[in-house]
Chains A and B, each alone.
Chain A
Amino acid sequence: MPNPRLRWREMLPIVTREMRAASKRRFTYRLRFVVALIGSAQVILGPIFLSGFSVELGKTLFVLTAFLVTLLCAGAGLVLTADSVSREKREGTLGLLFLTRLTSFDIILGKLSVGFLTGGSVACAAFPFLAFSLCLGGVTARDFWVMTALLIFLLMFSLTLGIFISVLFRKESTVALAFFFVMFIPAAALPLVIMKWTTVPLLFARWNPLYPILSTFDTAGFFLPAEHAWPTLIFQFFLLFVMLALSCLILPWTIRAKPLRAKTISVAWTRRFRRAVDGRILDANPFLWLGKRHNHPLLLLYVCIALRLLAGVVTTVPFEAEVTYVVILAILPKIFVLWHASGMIAEERQSGFLQALLTTPMTASEIVSGKIRAIQRQVAPAVLFALAVQWATSTRWWAEQRDIPISTTVVLAVMITLMIDVYTGAWIGLWQGLLARDRRRALIRSFAWGIIGPWVVPFVVFILIAFIFDPRWMNQTIYTLPPSIISANIISFALACFAMARLHDTFRSCAMQKGSLRAGA
């Protein structure tokens, strides 16, 4: 029977060691700096755009800061804890930890405390900006303390969820996908739920980790009733402890020398057909053949088709269902390309596979070209399907009205944006996957460069024009939306060119390094 005092004494060195490692990481300081920068920018720019310090400014600042910190706290688990145990499993060091006197409880608690201290220090950097609204008015002290408590709880929940998923799975891609699914999909599905039921039902609210915070934003309580917040919070608090207990119980059973592999059943003629196709691909580009083994091109297509049923079920009006489906198809392929491109190459670099590949006579260009073609094959069915659906929907609207409605024009613009973004996503995903330390960081950076990046320039330019000249024409959307979409598309294409150039320039030097290139720089 281990002595409890001894256990604490042994756990603390783990925490100390992890804290020392965190104190040497640039990421810890950069994130805190970025949070403080965004907070300061809000405080300085807010009064300029909302004509001086006022109660409206206080309310706006509070909501904006709370929203940003919510995203930060929700994503903390993905960055800090989601791959903590699964990495140990992949590297085979988890078994070594169990050879010491440590128990699963010590390991889980050690990982969790480190994540909480790192994430908490970043969140604490943002709280003063939340409190700034108190000085301006429009926000009561109660609102501030409730929001602070909810954010800390969300951070704790996110970190625990990360640990739990990390205990359950082994592969980094699976861990990231599972975390994303549990944490963000319920929040992303809120508009669909509201379309179906008008107010969010309690059963759905309980499984949405962001619900308690989002319900405070809906002050009228029409869509997100405030009375669901307390039962949701209590349920999630209970869930947090269940996840923690299950993690401690399951962890010792997850150690094994080799991952289990499912047996694949294949018929003789399909084997022959595959072998013939593989032979042709191998002749064309060996790296394309290697990349193709991980591809599941029809899976995404099936997901896209299944989502049509979902859109049909949750909406009551056919037009709403069509719009919802068009929006889903405009977003899903982009995210998938980023996830696939960044993740695959990040994993291959981490495992040293790229390094080994460079010892063969293949050139860097051949490898990159093979990788891009593998991505094209992977996403082509889904992207073609999305384009066909969008084209059919927009032309039907056109035919119904016997005139080109604005909705048709927008959908056609969305189609062009989708094609450009998929192309950009592939190049940026590969580039960031090559630079980032792991696939989660690669995905976050790719998302920032590929999805948010192109819209930043038109947004800033229009804000500056509005601030300096305050022109009358800016009140009309027709003068701001088309130039924004066009600029974003061309900037997106420019980013793709830049990513392609950087990828080819730095491929050999980056592929030779196993750790983070930014950290090592």
Chain B
Amino acid sequence: MIARSKLINESLDCLGWGAAACVPVVGFFLAPAALWRFKIVIVETNDRWNPARRHAYLGAALALLSMLGHAIVVAMIFIQIIRHYQDA
């Protein structure tokens, strides 16, 4: 069981990484870091009070939204490339 101060720190880090995940292109590779910290926070909390719990949730939500946006954009670009080659 990790110390509460470390838990709060991880929660804030999760928000930081989640916000960084919103940066186009680079953000896609930062999203897993936010989700990993979110998992640590969730597993290690163990019924203890965590004042930065909402920060962790927000960080995870941002990371997931970033992943969704990136994945859709990449898929659309991929489809356009395939269609371009088919037309050519």
Q: Which residues of A contact B1 (CB under 8 A)?
A: 363
Report yes or no: B68 in contact with A364, Cβ–Cβ below 8 A.
no
Q: By the criterion CB–CB under 8 Å, are A490 and B46 in contact?
A: no
Please tell me if the beta carbons of A486 and B71 are within 8 angstroms of each other in the complex. yes
Alpha-carbon gap, A486 to B47, bound state (A): 34
A493 near B64: Cβ-Cβ < 8 Å = yes
Nearest Cβ on chain A to B57's Cβ, whole angstroms: 7
- Residues 472-495 of A, flagged 1 when their CB comes within 8 A of B and 0 if not, give 000000110011001100110110
How big is chain B's contact interface, by range? 20 to 34
> Does A369 lie within 8 Å of B43, measured CB to CB?
yes
Digit string of B21-48 for contact with A (CB within 8 Å is 1, else 0)? 0000000000000010011001111110
When chains A and B are docked, how far (Å) is the Cα of A497 from the Cα of B61? 9
CA distance A508 to B45 in the complex (A): 12
B19 at the A/B interface (Cβ < 8 Å)? no
Q: Tell me the smallest distance from the CB of B34 to a CB of chain A, in Å.
A: 11
Interface residues of B in 29-88 (CB under 8 A from A): 35, 38-39, 42-47, 57, 60-61, 64, 67-68, 71-72, 75-76, 79, 83
Q: Which of A453-480 contact B (CB under 8 A)?
A: 478-479
Residue A28 CB within 8 A of the other chain: no
- Cross-chain contact B35 with A505 (CB below 8 angstroms): no
Known A-B contacts A493-B64, A497-B35; A483 and B44 likewise in contact (beta carbons under 8 Å): no
Say yes or no: is A500 at the interface (Cβ < 8 Å to chain B).
yes
- C-alpha spacing A226/B60, complex, angstroms: 54
Q: Is A501 interfacial (CB 8 A cutoff)?
A: yes
Contact A478 B79 (CB under 8 A): yes
Among A364, A482, A497: residue with most chain B CB under 10 A: A497
* Complex partner residue of A497 from B45, B60, B75, CB under 8 angstroms: B60
B43 to chain A, nearest CB (A): 5
Residues in chain B near residue A500, CB distance under 8 A: 39, 42
A199 in contact (CB, < 8 A): no
Q: Give the CA-CA distance A468 to B75 in the complex, in Å.
A: 23
CA distance A493 to B71 in the complex (A): 13
CB distance from B65 to the nearest CB of A (A): 9
Q: Which residues of B contact A490 (CB under 8 A)?
A: 64, 67-68, 71
Q: How far is the CB of A288 from chain B (nearest CB, A)?
A: 15
Instruction: Provide the bound-state CA to CA distance between A244 and B78, in Å.
Output: 60
Alpha-carbon gap, A497 to B67, bound state (A): 14
Closest chain-A Cβ to B31's Cβ sits at a distance in Å of 10
State whether A486 touches B64 (Cβ < 8 A). no
> Residue among B35, B42, B79 with the most chain A CB within 10 A?
B42
On whether the beta carbons of A501 and B42 are closer than 8 Å, the reply is yes
B61 to chain A, nearest CB (A): 8
One of A365, A486, A504 near B75 (C-beta < 8 A):
A486
> Are B43 and A504 closer than 8 Å at their CB atoms?
yes
Bound together, the chains give a CA A478 to CA B76 distance in angstroms of 9
Determine the chain A residues whose CB is within 8 A of the CB of B68 once the complex forms: 486-487, 490-491
Distance between Cα atoms of A434 and B38 in the complex (Å) = 22
Bound complex: CA of A493 vs CA of B67, how far in Å?
A: 11
Alpha-carbon distance between A494 and B57 when the two chains are bound, in angstroms: 11
**Bound-state Cα–Cα, A217 to B39, Å:** 48
> In the assembled complex, which residues on chain B have CB atoms less than 8 Å from the CB atom of A491?
68
Given contacts A364-B46, A500-B42, A504-B43, contact A482 B75 (CB under 8 A): yes
Bound form: Cα–Cα A295–B38 in Å: 30
Instruction: Identify which of B42, B45, B64, B83 contacts A494 (C-beta below 8 A).
Output: B64
Among A123-146, those with CB < 8 Å from B are: none
Partner of A504, one of B42, B57, B67, B83: B42
A404, chain B: closest CB distance, angstroms? 9
Question: What separation, in Å, do the CA atoms of A519 and B14 have in the docked complex?
Answer: 35
Shortest distance between the CB of B73 and any CB in chain A (Å): 10
**Complex interface: chain B residues within 8 A of A508 (CB):** 47
What is the bound-complex CA distance between A505 and B48, given in angstroms? 9
A38-62 CB contact bits vs B (8 Å, 1 = yes)? 0000000000000000000000000
A497-B64 in contact (CB<8A): yes
Question: How far does the alpha carbon of A365 sit from the alpha carbon of B44 in the complex, in Å?
Answer: 7
Complex CA distance for A504 and B50, rounded to whole angstroms: 13
Q: Give the complex CA separation of A497 and B60 in angstroms.
A: 8
Provide the bound-state CA to CA distance between A479 and B71, in Å: 14
A487 touches B72 (CB 8 A): yes
Chain A residues positioned under 8 Å from B64 (CB to CB) = 490, 493-494, 497
Q: Is the CB of B75 within 8 A of A483?
A: yes
Q: Is B45 a contact of A363 with CB atoms below 8 Å?
A: no
Tell me the complex Cα distance, A363–B67, Å: 32
Neighbouring A residues of B57 by C-beta, 8 Å: 501
Q: Which residues of A contact B60 (CB under 8 A)?
A: 497, 501
Residues in B with CB closer than 8 Å to A494 are 61, 64
CA distance in complex: A494, B44 (Å): 19
- Complex interface: chain B residues within 8 A of A364 (CB): 46-47
Nearest CB in chain B: distance from A255 CB, A? 42
Inter-chain CA distance A255–B18, complex, in Å, is 58
Query: Can you name 18 extra interface pairs (CB under 8 A) apart from A363-B1, A487-B72, A505-B45?
Result: A364-B46, A364-B47, A483-B72, A483-B75, A490-B64, A490-B67, A490-B68, A493-B64, A494-B61, A494-B64, A497-B38, A497-B39, A497-B60, A500-B42, A501-B38, A501-B42, A501-B60, A504-B42
**Nearest 3 Cβ contacts at the A-B interface:** A490-B68, A494-B64, A486-B71
Q: List 17 A-B contacts (CB under 8 A).
A: A365-B46, A483-B76, A486-B68, A486-B71, A486-B75, A487-B72, A490-B64, A490-B67, A493-B67, A494-B64, A497-B35, A500-B42, A501-B42, A501-B57, A504-B42, A504-B45, A505-B45
